[in-house]
Amino acid sequence: MSSKPAVEHVEQLADWDCGHTCLRMVIQFYHNDSGSEIQQQLWSALQALDELSKSEKPLWTIDLFVYLRTQGVVASFHTVCATGSITQHADIEWYRNTNLVDDSTRVSELFKLAAMEKWPVQEESLSLSRLQGLWTPTSPDEFVETVVIILVDSLLLNMSSYAFSMLEDAGEVDTSRYAGHYILLIGFSAFRNSFMYLDPAKSEGHSKW
């Protein structure tokens, strides 16, 4: 089986830059060749990411998608709302710390850009089984090098599946306390029946989900 260097974990520097940090991990993963041309591409991509970080505010997923496409990464975007409207988030407390009015205009323009460039944006929620399938090789010699940036509720991410199931069955999962957080899925273990992911909020290593 062919091999590829593992994705290097990067720790976020602030409480708002989990999206930026996931982008950095992806870019470093796809530009890990030692050739001078690849290294120049990596340097340019990281410079662009530094510019993106100057706003010092969280990114929307469309921001991440457009950045990756403009840096030559073959990526697709799956979202439950492909219209570019984010006003429905106004009722969620976590989003009240963002400037929804200004962000709404920018997000809408980015969706228009993606449509104009014919970048794949699909209005759907990926099931766990479809996510698992992303790391299923079609032949014994195939090495699957897929990584997935996914937006999760950080309050539930660190909760055991048993505890979450208990709360869900009791109807006590409080969606109003949602706290968005980006993590990077890097694989799925059929043997352990769990996803492997890198959490930029942690200091090192990968976790199982």
pLDDT, one tens digit per residue, over 9-51 is 988 888 888 998 999 899 888 876 655 565 676 667 777 777 7
Beta bridge partners of 208: 196
Phi/psi at 198 (5° precision): -110, 130
pTM of the entire predicted model: 0.79
Query: How wide is the angle at C-alpha 155 spanned by C-alphas 150 and 161, nearest 5°?
Result: 80
Contact 29, 147 (CB under 8 A): yes
What residues contact 135, with CB distance under 8 A and at least 6 apart? 144, 146, 187, 188
For 188-206, how does the pLDDT look when each residue is reduced to its tens digit (9 = 90+)?
887 788 888 899 988 876 6
Phi first, then psi: what are they for 195, rounded to 5°?
-85, 150
